[in-house]
Amino acid sequence: MALLEWKAEYSVGNVAIDHEHELMIRHINTLYEQINNTAGNDATSVEAVLGEIHADISAHFALEERLMRQARYGEYEEHKEDHEDLLDQIHDLIDAFYQDPAVGEQRLKSRLSGWFGRHFSSFDSRLHRQLG
């Protein structure tokens, strides 16, 4: 079972952003499946995948933030702060997997799915209305 599911209401109406959102969800689900299907989870490989996810998400946020600045989006600062919160959470997950893979797994399951659902349905939904 996937940790996150793409929903039509997550769409912001920008093909590039929507595509990257779907890719992020796929990356996170792949990591989740890897964790659940690997006996004695290899914390080093999980940390490496989290590092790749962090890099992909950072690049995506840079694109989204550039589009918001170009559109003079009124909620830019709050939206950017939420992006920075997720990047901090990913750093915490990498540290948690390094210290204790079981704790890292639990944090992955609880934090990322909650963050994405909340961010897509609030921040990105409002962005869609502005850009759409």
CA distance 70 to 67: 5
* Tens digit of pLDDT at every position of the chain (132 positions): 577 788 887 777 788 888 888 888 888 888 877 777 765 456 677 777 778 888 888 998 998 899 899 999 999 999 999 999 888 888 887 888 778 878 877 877 777 777 777 887 788 878 877 776
CATH number of 8-34+43-131: 1.20.120.50
What pLDDT does residue 94 have? 80
CB burial of residue 109 (10 Å; 0-12, 13-18, 19+) = middle
* Structural domain boundaries in the chain: 8-34+43-131
By the 8 A CB rule, do 54 and 28 touch?
no
Task: Please tell me the predicted confidence (pLDDT) of residue 73.
Answer: 93
Q: Report whether 73 contacts 130 (CB < 8 A).
A: yes
pLDDT for residue 65 = 93
